[in-house]
A and B are shown apart, each in its own frame.
Chain A
Amino acid sequence: MTELPRIERIAGPALVMRGNDIDTDRIVPARFLRAVTFEGLEEHLFEDDRREAAGRGATHPFDDVARRHAHVLLVNANFGCGSSREHAPQALLRRGIRAVVGESFAEIFFTNALTIGLPCVTASHADVERLMTIADGSTDAEIAIDLKAGRVSSGSLSADITLPDTARHALVSGTWDATALLLENYSDVEQAAAKLPYLQGF
């Protein structure tokens, strides 16, 4: 199997998606799950929100051409709640997003993103707001995330980020896709199964 990249540092311009509790139905509405691949999903990111914004003459962040090259997504609290659809992080990754910085993440979304090499790191409410202000001010402002050092920086701002050690280790060691690891010692899995009463006729 090809080696996975080690993910240690992500830097680039940012896109701001304000609001708490943004659910995965909003990130990718269910009608776009009518497919047997993830291809082209990035076209439908926040599709309903984008249409609604366009309808009132506003520009949704994901429709902002000046933000087309954004690599970092800035969000508030409980981003990615709801449905377990991996389509949500898949679409973000396909759109070019390489890291998400937010106040907090829903658990399944966090794991799905990690499993495809998309780090979701948390920062304090105040720091997220500062980063959002910086990004709002300039489409080119670079936001840099250093997973090893646990810092996010932009210009003169430098702030702490948190990421569970398990996730950090998986990303920086290039083992975020766990399947190969899980298959490594399959005899251990068989031994575990052999201890389970419900697999042994009780």
Chain B
Amino acid sequence: MAATLFQKVWDLHAVRKLPNGQTQLYVGLHLVHEVTSPQAFDELNARGWRVRAPERTFATLDHIVPTLSQARPFADGMAETMTSSLERNCREHGIPLFDLASGAQGIVHVIGPELGLTQPGMTITCGDSHTSTHGAFGSLAFGIGTSQVRDVLASQSLAMSPFKIRRIEVNGRLAPHVYAKDVILTIIGRLGVKGGTGFAYEYAGDAIDRMSMDERMTICNMSIEGGARIGYVNPDETTFAYLKGRRFAPQGDAFERACAWWRSLASDRGAAWDDVVRLDAQEVAPTITWGINPGQSVAIDTPLPDPASASDADRAGMKEALQFMGLQPGQRMTGTRIDVAFIGSCTNARLSDLREAARVVAGHRVASHVRALVVPGSQAVRAAAEREGLDDVFRGAGFDWRGAGCSMCLGMNPDKLEGREICASSSNRNFKGRQGSPTGRTLLMSPAMVAAAAVAGEVVDVRQWINPSPKSQA
């Protein structure tokens, strides 16, 4: 019978039916970081349980790591405490830890794929809502809270109920300087921040098929901003080519056998999706948020909506957002003066993101009133970028070039907004206070748009800012 990838992978990992009707689901890969795990390890230890599958568990440091001086002990005492707590827990339970000395440290959703840990057909959990990123490989990957982290550590499984599947087909060609980030912001804008509740999003269509793994990860990453705990793309040759030769990917004959199995997992033609939504890629413009949730966005050349003409349910939220942001209905986002430019996060801090941003920045200077920083998603991204000389491009333009981590995506380390600063950010959340200042303001956009805003000192339409490159003219 025709089935979706979701159904195939779910059935394969179903251990048994629990008394309450939920499914006990086997977890194939569990990723751990320093912020959501200490209480889980404490409870595990208090109850005298062991980590069941330390060989299926991998840890790294990302949320609290300083990105300037990374010498130990950290100047930030709490960062030091949380780091040593994770180190101790990993040591005691035999969990591999990709720490700062490993050369493989980074944002958990960047290093999983990069190391080849993330593979099609797996169930993947992590105490972090952006675990949906890993679905780009055709895995079922979702964020969990600390008590469920404890469950997975103790039993390598979880109590779960199945999701409905919404297929989101994106067909057609993206215009030059329109990126995966713009596609996902557009999808969330249309379906709403709670439109995906109860759903797994299956992204498909020829525009998704043409995307690189980095781009697919950007899309799946932000599924949760649309309320969908899971987002995935059916695995294909692009997926396999990305995985080939990676450290934890199958090698030699096993890789060939793996590809055959992975191929068989893709949703069958005629599978029963609970809902299908279509988007024309040509309609997507560079997109920017103006509000305090990721669904409050506009195409860069469009005026801001007016709460007066919004639905009753949306009006209060829109008014609150406009007031917090200091924006007016009907105005355009272009020309909004920015104070900070942040290129980073699990959404957009991979090598291809840094390349796109560097193309915009090359030969320019960051505006004198703007603080600009690039925080690569991982040590490996940073090293690869340095081999291409991207660090020189950014530094030469006046950007800070930092160590890998979450940084100003959530402001748990010293990288924060101050006061009411406005930040052009390649991250994924524009919630009030998200970037470390309760009154700080975040504008979400693609890395290329952040780079252009950094140089211009204000929000610009990246299409008008840079001359079309030879690639985009092709």
| Interface, chain A (partner B; CB < 8 A) | 1, 19-21, 23, 25-26, 29-31, 33-38, 48-49, 51-52, 77-78, 81-86, 89, 104, 106-108, 111-112, 115-116, 164-167, 169-170, 173, 175, 177-179, 181-183, 185-186, 188-189, 191-193, 195-199, 201-202
Contacts and interface: CB of A to CB of B under 8 A. Distances in A.
A86 B64 CA distance: 17
A122 to B, nearest CB: 11
Nearest to A29: B433
Interface string B338-361: 000000000000000000000000
Contacts of A167: 20
A195 B229 contact: no
Contacts of B316: 19-20
B257 A26 contact: no
Nearest to A81: B193
Contacts of B49: 179, 183
Given A166-B22, A202-B250, A81 B293 contact: yes
Given A26-B433, A51-B438, A189-B155, A108 B197 contact: no
A181 B155 CA distance: 10
A115 B18 CA distance: 15
B143 A108 contact: yes
B154 A182 contact: yes
A30 B410 contact: yes
Given A107-B198, A169-B21, A178 B16 contact: no
A26 B292 CA distance: 11
A35 B78 CA distance: 7
B317 A189 contact: no
Interface residues of B, number: 81
A25 B261 CA distance: 40
Contact of A21 (B28, B154, B159, B293): B293
B320 to A, nearest CB: 7
Given A37-B42, A104-B197, A173-B20, 6 more contacts: A26-B433, A37-B39, A82-B431, A84-B127, A116-B147, A175-B20
B26 A196 contact: yes
Nearest to B128: A84
A175 B19 contact: yes
Nearest to B41: A36
B145 A34 contact: no
A25 B434 contact: yes
A104 B195 CA distance: 11
Contacts of B28: 196, 198-199
Contact of B412 (A34, A178, A202): A34
B336 interface: no
Contact of A181 (B146, B156, B159): B159
A189 B20 contact: no
15 contacts: A25-B434, A30-B410, A36-B38, A82-B429, A85-B145, A86-B145, A86-B147, A108-B143, A182-B159, A192-B26, A193-B26, A196-B28, A199-B56, A202-B258, A202-B261
Given A21-B293, A34-B64, A106 B197 contact: yes
B147 A182 contact: no
A126 to B, nearest CB: 12
